[in-house]
């Protein structure tokens, strides 16, 4: 007699109910991202880890953010020397998006940015500095010399981590480097022990362009007007310094090596299509005029094959992008003596005018070493 | 005869066309099957001192094993530390082993391995002070002295052990990137020193250095 495995079924049912109950309390966007992480597999693993990492960070789940960002960084640091998926992306028959996602330099740098913040929250300032430096290295792949390794935000984090670690030499070195790119930044005062970091706007967008969409252009995010921020601490209002324009970082990367490969694919596609059409048209015209012959069929066959091959060549550039990144990141440091409450109010501005409905109240967080952090984002 | 030849030519052209449609995907399917990771791979143990199949320009297990072994052997040959009537007390932990590099690393992996190796090989010629656990020691001492517990079997001491020496050091890196070729290079230098905790004298110094390079696939450049 067939016996049903009752206990495993009950266990599964209980697990399903528990999962369902947990999901109900989770952020719906996060639940969706976690599902995507499973269903989209290795190809989008880094992208989904980036999205989940940033989302969990802003939801205050620092352990979850750490896990996702560590996984993302593992993927970013993976060297695809002989990877089949990478080879596929170079082949004529697959688009660039078939490769495992690692992101453009600005996206990779931002993964290290969030990881650096997490290390700081844990009081591990030395690894926070290391993460900021690794992020800066990602930006070193910019083609344009002037835009290479100019991620001022990461230089600032390098300096701030060294400051919190009590290493004034390294702090001053990083600040001197930062001064080259942000000469008006007021710097870090010796007594500063509180960092306010605020994000405004939405992520840069990758838009397909060119013949066969063989490259992309970057455009500023849409749907926001705020570009400045202020922090209100009791009766005191402090302006924040706009340290980094993420869109600028994305847009000044310059040409990519892969663009040459994609242009080659586009040329092949167009050439094969043109040659195929010409041969087929010639064959048809010759057949109409002179009747069928072996040469006509051979030419027609080659033309059809060329058209077929041309139609199968995939020259599209990879448009996947980290959608939850901000447009601009603002910073402010001061002594915790200025803190008057367990919360701080953040006001978002367009120029000098507050943007209605965006004010946020952010909790003052304290790390294990007794330093303070206030994080907020407009959207 | 002409009709037959024309038909056969038609057939050849159609066959060539058909073959191109069929063989392309078939060849790709075969190529996919030939990939060495199609079916995944079972978990296998690897020698911690060997280079794994996944590598980067950062510090890996073989580097940690090699540097901690090298430092341990060198430290065990320092007369000032080892040839004393009363064994020297030393702290070997990560607290003053600073990471000033661009590498995210758990420093304790290095200092723990060094301490364990030294402790097992010093055969009583060095006393290792667990300063990182001083809070745990203090808690137990309090319980004993408050009479919550008895005094144990090793007796009471006036205070926790003071250290004669401490391991200090620094991790530094120098990175370079060639955006054209995609080559990434990192020079890493680990400095190890033993500091006299009374005079400040550095009684021993050594370093471990290596340089690694790699280059990512063109699709990521």
DSSP string, A335-373: -GGG--SSEEEEEEEETTEEPTT--EEEEPEE-TTS-EE
Asked if B37's CB is within 8 angstroms of A80's CB, the reply is no
Where residue B161 falls among pLDDT bands split at 50, 70, 90? very high
Facing A301 at nearest CB: one of B16, B28, B56: B16
Name, in order, each residue with C-beta under 8 angstroms of A254's C-beta and a sequence gap of 6 or more.
Answer: A142, A143, A144, A147
Name, in order, each residue with C-beta under 8 angstroms of A344's C-beta and a sequence gap of 6 or more.
Answer: A196, A231, A232, A233, A361, A362, A364, A374
Q: Are A368 and A121 in contact (CB under 8 A)?
A: no
Contacts of A102 in chain B (CB under 8 A): 220
Asked if A141's CB is within 8 angstroms of B9's CB, the reply is no
What does chain B look like in DSSP terms, one character per residue? -HHHHHHHHHHHHHHHHHHHHHHHHHHHHHHHHH-TTTT--------TTS--SS--SS--HHHHHHHHHHHHHHHTT-HHHHS-SSPEEEE-SSTTEEE-SS----THHHHHHHHHHHHHHSTTSEEE--GGGHHHHHHHHHHHHTTSS---SS---SSPPPPSEEEEEEEEEEEEEETTTTEEEEEEEEEEEEEETTT--EEEEEEEEEEEEEE--GGG-
In 3D space, the residue among B85, B57, B100 whose CA is nearest the CA of residue B212 turns out to be B57
Contacts of B19 in chain A (CB under 8 A): none
In 3D space, the residue among A132, A152, A182, A157 whose CA is nearest the CA of residue A252 turns out to be A152
Q: Are B165 and B88 in contact (CB under 8 A)?
A: yes
Asked if A312's CB is within 8 angstroms of B24's CB, the reply is yes
How many Cβ atoms sit within 10 Å of the Cβ of residue B194? 25
SS (H, E, C) A55-97: HHHHCCCHHHHHHHHHHHHHHHHCCCCCCHHHHHHHCCCCCHH
Asked if A134's CB is within 8 angstroms of B103's CB, the reply is yes
Is A288 in a helix, a strand, or coil?
A: helix
ipTM of the assembly?
0.75
Contact map slice: B 128-167 vs A, CB within 8 A:
none
In 3D space, the residue among A28, A45, A31 whose CA is nearest the CA of residue A320 turns out to be A45
Smallest Cα distance from B45 to chain A, Å: 20
pLDDT at A90: 64
Distances (CA, A) of B164 to B83, B120, B178: 14, 19, 47
Q: Are A119 and A149 in contact (CB under 8 A)?
A: no
d(CA A241, CA B84): 59
φ, ψ at A346 (rounded to 5°): -115, 125
pTM of the model: 0.79
pLDDT at A20: 44
Distance of CA B105 to the CA centre of its chain: 8
Distance of CA A343 to the CA centre of its chain: 29
**Selected residue of A280, A293, A297 to mutate for chain B interface (largest B Cβ count, 10 A):** A297
Facing A297 at nearest CB: one of B13, B58, B177: B13
B92-134: pLDDT as tens digits: 999 999 999 999 999 999 999 999 999 999 989 999 999 999 9
Asked if A93's CB is within 8 angstroms of B24's CB, the reply is yes
How do the pLDDT tens digits run along chain A, 379 residues long? 444 455 555 554 444 444 444 444 678 889 999 999 999 888 899 999 999 999 999 999 999 999 999 999 999 988 766 667 666 666 666 777 778 888 999 999 999 999 999 999 999 999 999 999 999 998 876 555 555 678 999 999 999 999 999 999 999 999 999 999 999 999 999 999 999 999 999 999 998 888 777 778 889 999 999 999 999 998 899 999 999 999 999 988 765 666 666 666 666 667 777 777 777 777 777 777 776 677 777 777 777 777 777 776 776 888 899 999 999 999 999 999 988 888 999 999 999 999 999 999 999 999 999 999 999 999 9
pLDDT at A22: 46
Strands (E), chain A: 194-200, 205-209, 215-219, 228-233, 236-239, 241-245, 328-334, 343-350, 353-354, 360-363, 365-366, 372-377
Strands A194-200 and A328-334: antiparallel
């Amino acid at each position: 007699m067939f016996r049903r495995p009752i206990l495993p079924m009950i266990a599964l049912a209980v697990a399903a109910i528990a999962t369902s109950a947990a999901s109900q309390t989770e952020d719906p966007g996060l639940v969706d991202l976690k599902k995507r992480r499973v269903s989209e597999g290795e190809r989008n693993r880094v992208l989904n880890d980036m999205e989940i990492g940033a989302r969990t960070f802003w939801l205050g789940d620092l352990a979850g953010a750490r896990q996702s960002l560590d996984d993302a960084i593992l993927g970013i640091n993976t060297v695809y020397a002989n990877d089949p998926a990478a080879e596929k992306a170079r082949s004529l028959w697959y688009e660039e998006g078939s490769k495992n996602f690692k992101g453009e330099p600005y996206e990779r740098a931002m993964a290290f940015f969030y990881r650096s913040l997490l290390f700081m929250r844990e009081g591990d300032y030395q690894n926070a500095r290391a993460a900021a430096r690794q992020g800066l290295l990602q930006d070193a792949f910019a083609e344009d010399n002037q835009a290479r390794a100019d991620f001022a935000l990461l230089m600032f984090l390098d300096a701030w981590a060294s400051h919190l670690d009590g290493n004034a030499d390294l702090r001053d070195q990083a600040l001197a480097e930062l001064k080259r790119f942000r000469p008006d930044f007021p710097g870090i005062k010796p007594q500063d022990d509180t960092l306010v970091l605020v994000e405004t706007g939405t992520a840069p967008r990758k838009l397909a362009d060119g013949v066969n969409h063989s490259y992309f252009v970057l455009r500023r995010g849409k749907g926001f007007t705020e570009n400045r921020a202020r922090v209100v601490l009791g009766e005191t209002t402090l302006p924040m310094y706009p340290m980094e324009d993420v869109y600028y970082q994305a847009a000044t990367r310059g040409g990519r090596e892969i663009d040459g490969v994609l242009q080659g694919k586009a040329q092949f596609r167009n050439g094969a299509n043109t040659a195929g059409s010409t041969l087929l048209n010639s064959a048809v015209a010759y057949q109409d005029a002179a009747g069928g012959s072996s040469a006509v069929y051979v030419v027609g066959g080659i033309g059809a094959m060329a058209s077929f091959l041309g139609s199968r060549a995939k020259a599209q550039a990879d448009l996947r992008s980290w959608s939850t990144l901000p447009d601009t990141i603002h910073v402010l440091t001061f002594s915790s003596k200025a803190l008057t409450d367990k919360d701080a109010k953040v006001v978002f501005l367009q120029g000098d005018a507050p943007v209605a409905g965006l004010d946020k109240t952010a909790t003052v967080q304290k790390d294990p070493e007794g330093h303070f952090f206030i994080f907020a984002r407009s959207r | 005869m002409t009709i037959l030849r024309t038909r056969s030519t038609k057939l050849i052209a159609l066959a060539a066309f058909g073959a191109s449609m069929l063989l392309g995907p078939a060849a790709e399917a075969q190529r996919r099957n030939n990939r060495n990771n199609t079916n995944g791979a079972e978990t296998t143990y690897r020698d911690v001192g060997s280079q794994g199949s996944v590598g980067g320009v950062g510090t890996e297990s073989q580097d940690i094993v090699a540097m901690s072994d090298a430092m341990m052997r060198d430290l065990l040959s320092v007369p000032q530390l080892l040839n004393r009537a009363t064994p020297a007390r030393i702290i070997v932990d990560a607290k003053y082993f600073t990471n000033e590099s661009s590498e995210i690393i758990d420093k304790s992996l290095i200092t723990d391995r060094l301490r364990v190796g030294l402790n097992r090989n010093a055969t009583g010629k060095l006393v290792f002070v667990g300063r990182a656990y001083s809070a745990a020691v203090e808690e137990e001492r309090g319980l004993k002295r408050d009479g919550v517990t008895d005094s144990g079997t090793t007796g009471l001491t006036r205070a926790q052990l003071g250290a004669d020496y401490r391991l200090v050091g620094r991790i530094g890196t120098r990175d370079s990137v060639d955006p054209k070729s995609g080559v990434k290079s990192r020079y890493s230098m680990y400095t190890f020193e033993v500091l006299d905790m009374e005079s400040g004298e550095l009684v021993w110094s050594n370093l471990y250095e290596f340089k690694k390079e790699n280059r990512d696939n063109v699709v990521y450049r």
